[in-house]
Structure 1
C-alpha cells in the first residue's frame, strides 16, 4: 500500500477545511493509478524549414509526447542487488553514515544502512520544514504585508507579515524570489488611501518573538550571506544585492524596510512600534503562493525563506512564533499527518544549526509520501512541491555545479533530483532517481564527521549508481 492510503484524513490541521489542489507539476509528473516519474526526450529536429526559399508546406504530424509516465511493470530492485551496488562504497565512506532507499509505489524500504541513526542533516532538514508547511498552510495563500494608519496624524505603520520575499526593486526588475510583492506597489496604495503628507513610518515586527538567530548558528553566516536575522519584515531576504542568492546581508532588516518605505512616501522619521488592533488598513501586498515558495526553498535552499515558512506553521497551529516554537510545531504537524519523526531534533527551520539531528529514515519517508502515486480521495498530491522543487543534477539549483562530466557521478547527470545539505563536516543528499529498469526510487544519504570536499562527491556517486542500477 502506498503512503496515500496510510496517511488518510489526519493530514489536515483541524479547522482549516478541505483543500485538494496544489498547482505544481514541472519536470516530474507523479500521478495516475500507477504514476511514477517522467523522462525527458529531445524533440526531433526539422532539417529543412524552407528558410532559404519559398516557405515549404508543412504537413500536420502526430504530436510526439515529451513527457510520459514510467512503465507500471518496471521491476523494483532487490535488497541484495542494492547492497551489491551500494555496499562497497558505503563501507569506504568516511565519517558516520546513514542511508536508505525506498520504493514510492509500494512504500517499501528496499535498502537501509543504519537508517534510524540521527545525524546533523544540514539543509536536508528543509524537507521537514517544507512538508510541514504543505501540510499546514493553504498552498494558494501567501505572506501578506500591510500598512495601516498610525496613532498620530501623518503616521503609518508598516506591519511585518513574515514575508522575506518583499522587494524594493522596481517593476521590471527581479531579485532571487519568484513573484515577489513590491514595496512600491504598497506605497502607491498607501498614498491613494492617505493623500495627505506622511511624516513618520512606524515599523511593527510583533508577529515574531524571541531571538533572531538560532542555537548552533555561526554568527559569520550573516556576513557571509547565508542568512539574515529572522524578523517578520525585510526586503529581499535582507540581501544587500537582491539579485545574489548568497551575498552580504543586513543586520537590521526591519529598519531598512521601514526606511525604504519612508523614502517612497516622503516621510522623514522611522520608528519602532505596534499597530493598533483596529487600525485602518491603507494597503497590502501578497507574496507568491506558499506552494511556489516551498519549491523555491527546495531548489535554492534559501535559509531565510525556510525559517519564515517554519514560523507560519507555528502561527497557524497556535504555537509560539519563535525558533523553538516553529521546530516544535513542524514535528507536531508531521506526527499529526501520520509520519514518525522520532529521532529528529530540530532547533531551526533551515538546517543551518549544528544542533539539528534527523535520521535518514525520516527524510526518505517524507519524500516517498510526496512521490507516491495518487490514490483517489486520500492521495498526497499536495506534497508534490517537495519533489517538483528538487534540483536537477548538473542542471539547476544547488546541484547545478555537481555531477559534472567526467566525474564518477556523471552517469546521474540530469537523472538525479535531490535536496542537498552541507555544513562543516556535514554532507547529505536526499531525493529521487529512476533506475536502469525504469523504476522510480527515493533515497536519503547522510554523513557526519568528514569534510564535504571528500564526502559530497561520494554521495553524488551513490545516487548516480542507483540511476544505472537494475539491481534485481
Structure 2
C-alpha cells in the first residue's frame, strides 16, 4: 500500500514536468494526447496562494516536439543502470565532460542510476539557487507576503517609508496579476496622501527605515563587474520592478534611493509637498501610526520568478530575509552557511558543501551533483511543499526562462517541453540540474556540474546528456 501511495504521489508530481509538452499538445502543435489515462493528483502538502508562476508562453512550431509522450511508467519500469550507461556512452566521452560530475536518479524511487564523480564538490553556479529555494521555503509559507508601509515620524510633518523586503515595487500603480510590480508606490502614496489630508497635513519630509534584514549591497566574493554588467542588482530590502538588473542593463547602485525618489514623486502627484528628510535613515517609532501599506505577491511566487529568470539579486534578497527571520546573521557568507544548515535539516548529505552566497555567483561555492539530485528527488516525492514549489519555478526547455532558447533545433529538439531544469553559468563553471520524462514515461532526475570547459562546449555537452536521457527508456 505504501509503495502504491508513493507511486501516485510521484506520478502526480511529474505533471509539473510535463506542463511544457501539455501546452504544445493543447495548442495542436504536437500530435496526440499527453497520456492515455487520468493521473491522480498528489495529496495536498500546503494550501498555495494565488499562483502566478510559472508563466508558460503560447508555444510556437519551433518548440513542438515530434511525438506525444506515452503514459507515465509504473514502478517496475525503472531504467537499468547498465543500459543507461550504454546509451550515454558517446556523450560521456565528450572532452567537455571529462572532469564533470554527472548523476542520474530514478525520480520515482530515488535510486542512483548513474554516478560519475557525483560526490566531488564542484562550483555549482546558479544551481545554488535550488539549495537556497529549499531553505527559503522552510521559512515562508505559501500565503506569506512582504509589506511595505509608511508610518508617522517622531516629529510633526515627518513620515517614514519602512522597507519590508519587497524589491519588486511598481513605480506607480501595482498590478495584482503580476509578481513583479504586484504592489505599487502610487497606491501606497494615495493611501498616505489621504491619511495626511485627513489630519490637515499637506507638507512632509520623508526618511526610510532599513532595519529589516540589513546587510551589504554586494558580496565580497563577487566580481566587481557583476553589477555594472547587469549580472546582478544590488541586494536591498526596498526596490522597484522597473529597475531590476538584466545582463547589459544594470540596476541602480542604490535601489533604495531610486525607490524613495519614485515615492516622493507619487506623493506630489497626490497633492502632498514632499521632500527628503535631512537625515535619510531613521527607525520607525514602535507606536507609530500606519498611514498606508501595500503587500507584495506571495514570497514563494517571487521565489519562482527568481528561479525561472535566474535573478541573482532577488534570490539573495529572499534568502537574506529568511535567514533574518530565523535569527541568523545576514552577511552573504552567513546566509550561505544558513542555507547549508537548512538543507541538512531535510536529512540530506552536505559533506563537502559550502556556500559563500545564495545565488551562485561566488566561485567559492561548492556543491555535489549527488546533493542536487537528492534535493530534486525529495521535491518530487510529494512530501515537501517548498521543494515542489521550487521545482515549479524551474525553466522549461524551449519555453521559459534560461531554457527558453535551448532545445529548439537539432537532436536536442526532441527534449523540448520535456525538461525542467535550473541552469548555471560562470566562466569555466557550467551546470544543469533538473528532471526529464524519458520515452518510456519514466521521470528521471539529473545533475551535471562541468568545470574547466568553455560555455558553448559545456552547454552543448549538457544538452546532449539530457537529450540522451529523454530518448532513453533503457530498461533491462
Q: Normalising TM by the smaller chain, what interval?
A: 0.7 to 0.9
Deviations 1:171-219 (Å, cap 9, x if unpaired)?
56998x4462111111112122222123211022222334221132122
Determine helix, strand or coil for the equivalent of 1:80.
Answer: helix
1:233 has 2:260 as partner: no
- TM-score, length-scaled by structure 2: 0.82
1:462 aligns with one of 449, 462, 465: 465
Q: Tell me by how many angstroms 1:468 deviates.
A: 0.3
Q: In 2, distance between residues paired with 1:44 and 1:291?
A: 28
Q: Structure 1 residues 169 and 303 mapped into 2: Cα distance closer, same or farther (>3 Å)?
A: farther
1:116, 1:360 within 8 Å by CA — same for their partners in 2? yes
Pairing 1:162-173 to 2, within 5 Å after superposition: 162-171=165-174
Q: In 2, distance between residues paired with 1:384 and 1:462?
A: 24
Q: In 1, distance between residues paired with 2:114 and 2:412?
A: 20
What residue number does 2:303 align with?
294
1:135, 1:383 within 8 Å by CA — same for their partners in 2? no
Q: Tell me by how many angstroms 1:32 deviates.
A: 3.7
Q: In 2, distance between residues paired with 1:295 and 1:108?
A: 27
Deviations 1:246-278 (Å, cap 9, x if unpaired)?
622100111111111111123122522222233
Q: Tell me by how many angstroms 1:368 deviates.
A: 0.7
What residue number does 1:257 align with?
259
Q: In 2, distance between residues paired with 1:443 and 1:198?
A: 59
Q: Tell me by how many angstroms 1:68 deviates.
A: 4.2
Deviations 1:146-189 (Å, cap 9, x if unpaired)?
211112211111111121112214356998x4462111111112
Determine helix, strand or coil for the equivalent of 2:193.
Answer: helix
Q: Tell me by how many angstroms 1:36 deviates.
A: 4.8
Q: In 1, distance between residues paired with 2:320 and 2:27?
A: 48
Instruction: List alignment gaps of at least 5 residues for structure 2.
Output: 29-34, 41-71, 269-273
Pairing 1:96-111 to 2, within 5 Å after superposition: 96-111=99-114
Q: In 2, distance between residues paired with 1:157 and 1:37?
A: 47
Q: Structure 1 residues 179 and 172 mapped into 2: Cα distance closer, same or farther (>3 Å)?
A: closer
Determine helix, strand or coil for the equivalent of 1:213.
Answer: coil
What residue number does 1:279 align with?
288
Q: In 1, distance between residues paired with 2:27 and 2:145?
A: 40
Deviations 1:77-123 (Å, cap 9, x if unpaired)?
11111211224322324263101111222121111111111111111
Q: Tell me by how many angstroms 1:238 deviates.
A: 3.7
What residue number does 2:79 align with?
77
Q: Tell me by how many angstroms 1:43 deviates.
A: 4.4
Q: Tell me by how many angstroms 1:325 deviates.
A: 2.4
Deviations 1:35-73 (Å, cap 9, x if unpaired)?
45234452497xxxxxxxxxxxxxxxxxx9997472434
Deviations 1:448-471 (Å, cap 9, x if unpaired)?
111111110110110111000021
1:350 has 2:353 as partner: no
1:134 aligns with one of 110, 126, 137: 137
1:422 has 2:431 as partner: no
Deviations 1:388-426 (Å, cap 9, x if unpaired)?
1121111111101111212x4222112111100001111
Determine helix, strand or coil for the equivalent of 2:323.
Answer: helix
Q: Structure 1 residues 321 and 74 mapped into 2: Cα distance closer, same or farther (>3 Å)?
A: same
1:153 has 2:162 as partner: no
Q: In 2, distance between residues paired with 1:43 and 1:209?
A: 47
Pairing 1:269-418 to 2, within 5 Å after superposition: 269-270=276-277, 271-372=280-381, 374=382, 379-406=383-410, 408-418=411-421
Q: In 2, distance between residues paired with 1:457 and 1:109?
A: 24
2:148, 2:293 within 8 Å by CA — same for their partners in 1? yes
How many correspondences in the alignment? 419
Q: In 2, distance between residues paired with 1:237 and 1:127?
A: 26
Instruction: List alignment gaps of at least 5 residues for structure 1.
Output: 6-29, 46-63
Q: In 1, distance between residues paired with 2:13 and 2:157?
A: 58
Q: Structure 1 residues 34 and 456 mapped into 2: Cα distance closer, same or farther (>3 Å)?
A: closer
Q: In 1, distance between residues paired with 2:452 and 2:172?
A: 42
Q: In 2, distance between residues paired with 1:127 and 1:272?
A: 34
Q: In 2, distance between residues paired with 1:207 and 1:397?
A: 30
